[in-house]
């Protein structure tokens, strides 16, 4: 691109007045800005002493949970869409024939490796029945790698733990729609 | 004889210990100020060792020091080993040696202490490691120039292009700014008639007019030059983390790096001492510290130390606030400021001071009139510099040139 290209918009420096050339406005601007920030409220959260405020738990991406339907059964239908969508390949599902009449399959086992997971939320988006969701639990720790592989019972217990604070994204599927 | 020797050793121990501790705690203060200015909290976790007492993070310097001691001290294979080791030692030694002639108070009543040491004279004990050096300012200047050697040797011995660039920048910068620094001091020397720091404080205490009030232009010139000499922002081109990684100490690690960093803080402390002693009245404060030649009592001695330390603390606080207030100068701006602004302003100040001092001696010019002259010269000089605007350079690309023309400009 040449300097006389019409697409270039040349911005002119603002002309300095006498005060500007004396550096006085810059001097006082700089000092007042720093002095103001010196005493302004701090944004740091002192974590172990102070819990962070999560603005909207519904869109926070923390530990996973497996939702239950109104009869207490796991909502998952073992369709494998979450496992397919997962970029970290951390979801492992064994689907078997469902004992219930309203679906064909259900997960016999459902494990998520919380250490491999990158908390991107794609499983949540892929799920057609809103069975897998990310909660706002952020302080996940464990003493071994095995402990951090969450199985179906653990994921369902996360649901029990968080269902009051964080409602499901979609309401449970109500009675069949009138024909 | 032995009494003097013991006193000198005690003063040296107090000074070196105090300075090292002060440097460590000023690092903590710098980190706090940096954090607060950026709306963070800063280090507030490390407290008493082996307990859970946090003490606002006051244990941090100890932790930092331990960290530095236990870090691997890596010497790259491509360095000039002798100079590489010499540089940090040199810079720290010269930074510490400067304090031999800098008073850290006025004096304390000597009788009881001298009595213990078997000395029956009742002269007060001056709070300087080397009292009565009548070329103290020259000594300070000589040693602060040697500090440049530490930087140059460090950058040269590192055999690394970032270190080398930092070294080149700092040698040019420090040498350029020594001239306005000297011109700023010359006004004080002319007005007080002495190179001895104690005498300079006494003159200010006796007249009650600090030199910052009598020669504001000299104060401004000296202050800016002192910032540049201490290589603090906005003049920190020798280090310039964003451009040069660490400048001249890029290749250093462990204790050697610590020596460089401590020396940098000592330079800042030295600069604060000089600013306070030369221009802000040293230990003098109107109405509470008494005249320079007055008999020292314990009360006035302690008051003077407190006043001096408070002033130095405030100046250092200003140093640290300035760091976050203004952007770094470009190198051409830095040099323009030194040679086209500071140097003429220093000359103008020196001339004005020389004339007023002469008039005071010969024609009995009143002190207040000379203060008024000082302020007039300051405002006029500053206005003249602003009007001439030597720093306002136009470095936009020349639009009428063909692209190859622009390239050739670069």
pLDDT along chain A (179 residues), means of 10: 76 77 83 90 87 84 89 88 93 91 90 92 90 89 90 89 78 51
Q: Does B40 touch chain A (CB under 8 A)?
A: yes
Fold classified for A57-162 = Alpha-Beta Plaits (3.30.70)
d(CA B136, CA B335): 29
pLDDT tier at B363, thresholds 50, 70, 90: confident
Give the gyration radius of chain A's Cα atoms: 27
> Which are the contacts of B177, defined by CB distance < 8 A and separation ≥ 6?
B225, B228, B229, B235, B338, B342
pLDDT, one tens digit per residue, over B247-288 is 788 888 888 888 888 888 898 999 999 999 999 988 888 878
Helix (H) or strand (E) holding A93: strand A91-97
The answer to whether B403 contacts A2, with C-beta atoms less than 8 Å apart, is: yes
A chain contacts of residue B383, beta-carbon cutoff 8 Å: 18, 22
Say whether residue B45 is in contact with chain A using an 8 A CB cutoff: no
Best of B30, B31, B35, B38 to substitute, by most chain A Cβ atoms within 10 angstroms, is B38
CB contacts of A40 in chain B (<8 Å) are 39
A38 touches chain B (CB under 8 A): yes
pLDDT tens for each residue of B55-105: 788 888 888 888 888 888 888 888 888 888 899 999 999 989 998 888 887
Task: Decide: A111 and A151 in contact? Cβ < 8 Å.
Answer: yes
Long-range interactions of A88-94: CB distance < 8 A, separation 24+: A88/A116, A88/A117, A88/A118, A88/A120, A89/A116, A90/A114, A90/A115, A90/A116, A90/A117, A91/A123
The domain segmentation of chain A, as residue ranges, is 57-162
State which of B143-157, B169-183, B265-279, B328-342 shows the largest mean pLDDT: B265-279
pLDDT at residue number B294: 67
pLDDT of B206 reads 84
**Which residues are bridge partners to A110 per DSSP?**
A93
Predicted local distance difference test score (pLDDT) of residue B401? 60
The whole-number pLDDT of residue B175 equals 83
> What is the model's pLDDT at position B316?
92
- Torsions phi, psi for A74 (to 5 deg): -65, 140
The pLDDT score that the predictor gives to residue A52 is 87
- Flag whether residue B362 sits within 8 Å of chain A, measured between CB atoms: no
pLDDT in tens, B29-58: 999 999 999 999 888 888 777 777 777 888
The pLDDT tens digits of the residues spanning A77-126 come to 999 999 999 999 999 999 999 888 888 999 999 999 999 999 999 999 99
- Residue B360: pLDDT band with limits 50, 70, 90: confident
pLDDT bin (cut points 50, 70, 90) of residue B328 is: confident
Query: Rounded mean pLDDT of chain A?
Result: 85
Contacts of residue A22 in chain B, CB cutoff 8 Å?
382-383, 385-386
pLDDT for B164: 86
> What is the C-alpha to C-alpha distance for residues B309 and B304, in angstroms, rounded to an integer?
9
The token pair that represents B216 in the structure block: 């504001």
């Amino acid at each position: 691109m040449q300097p006389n290209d019409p697409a270039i918009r040349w911005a002119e420096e603002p002309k300095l007045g006498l005060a500007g050339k004396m550096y006085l406005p810059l001097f006082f601007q700089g000092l007042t800005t720093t002095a103001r920030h010196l005493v302004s409220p701090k944004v740091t959260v002192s974590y172990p002493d102070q819990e962070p405020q999560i603005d909207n738990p519904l869109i926070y991406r923390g530990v996973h949970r497996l939702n239950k339907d109104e009869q207490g059964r796991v909502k998952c239908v073992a369709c494998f869409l979450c496992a397919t969508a997962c970029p970290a390949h951390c979801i492992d599902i064994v689907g078997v024939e469902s004992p219930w009449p309203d679906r064909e399959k259900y997960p016999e086992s459902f494990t998520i490796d919380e250490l491999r997971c990158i908390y991107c939320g794609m499983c949540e988006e892929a799920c057609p029945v809103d069975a897998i969701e990310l909660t706002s639990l952020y302080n996940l720790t464990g003493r071994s790698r095995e402990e951090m592989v969450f199985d179906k019972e653990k994921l369902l217990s996360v649901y029990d733990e968080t269902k009051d604070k964080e409602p499901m994204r979609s309401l449970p599927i109500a009675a069949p729609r009138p024909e | 004889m032995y009494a003097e020797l013991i006193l000198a050793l005690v003063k040296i121990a107090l000074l070196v210990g105090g300075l090292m501790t002060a440097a460590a705690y000023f690092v903590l203060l710098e980190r706090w100020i940096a954090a607060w200015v950026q709306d963070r909290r800063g280090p507030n976790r490390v407290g008493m060792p082996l307990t859970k007492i946090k003490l606002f993070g006051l244990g941090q310097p100890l932790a930092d020091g331990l960290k530095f001691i236990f870090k691997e001290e890596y010497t790259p294979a491509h360095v000039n080993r002798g100079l590489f080791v010499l540089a940090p030692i040199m810079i720290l030694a010269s930074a510490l040696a400067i304090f031999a002639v800098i008073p850290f108070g006025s004096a304390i009543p000597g009788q009881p202490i001298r009595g213990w040491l078997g000395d029956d004279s009742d002269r007060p004990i001056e709070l300087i490691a080397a009292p009565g050096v009548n070329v103290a300012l020259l000594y300070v200047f000589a040693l602060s120039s040697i500090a440049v050697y530490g930087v140059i040797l460090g950058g040269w011995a590192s055999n690394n292009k970032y270190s080398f660039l930092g070294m080149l920048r700092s040698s040019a910068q420090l040498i350029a700014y020594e001239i306005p620094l000297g011109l700023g001091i010359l006004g004080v020397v002319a007005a007080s008639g002495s190179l001895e720091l104690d005498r300079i404080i006494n003159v200010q205490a006796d007249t009650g007019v600090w030199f910052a009030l009598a020669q504001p232009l000299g104060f401004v010139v000296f202050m800016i030059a002192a910032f540049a000499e201490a290589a603090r922002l906005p003049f920190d081109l020798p280090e310039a983390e964003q451009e040069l990684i660490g400048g001249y100490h890029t290749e250093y690690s462990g204790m050697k790096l610590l020596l460089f960093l401590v020396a940098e803080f000592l330079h800042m402390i030295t600069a604060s001492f000089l600013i306070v002693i030369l221009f802000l009245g040293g230990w003098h404060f109107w109405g509470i510290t008494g005249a320079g030649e007055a008999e020292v009592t314990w009360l006035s001695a302690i008051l003077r130390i407190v006043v001096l330390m408070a002033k130095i603390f405030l100046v250092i606080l200003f140093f640290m606030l300035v760091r976050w207030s203004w952007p770094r100068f470009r190198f051409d701006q830095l040099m323009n400021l030194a040679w086209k602004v500071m140097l003429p302003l220093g000359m103008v100040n020196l001339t004005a001071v020389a004339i007023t001092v002469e008039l005071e001696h010969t024609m009995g010019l009143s002190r207040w009139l000379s203060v008024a002259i000082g302020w007039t010269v300051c405002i006029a000089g500053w206005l003249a510099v602003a009007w001439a605007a030597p720093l306002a350079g136009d470095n936009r690309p020349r639009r009428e040139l063909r692209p190859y023309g622009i390239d050739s400009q670069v």
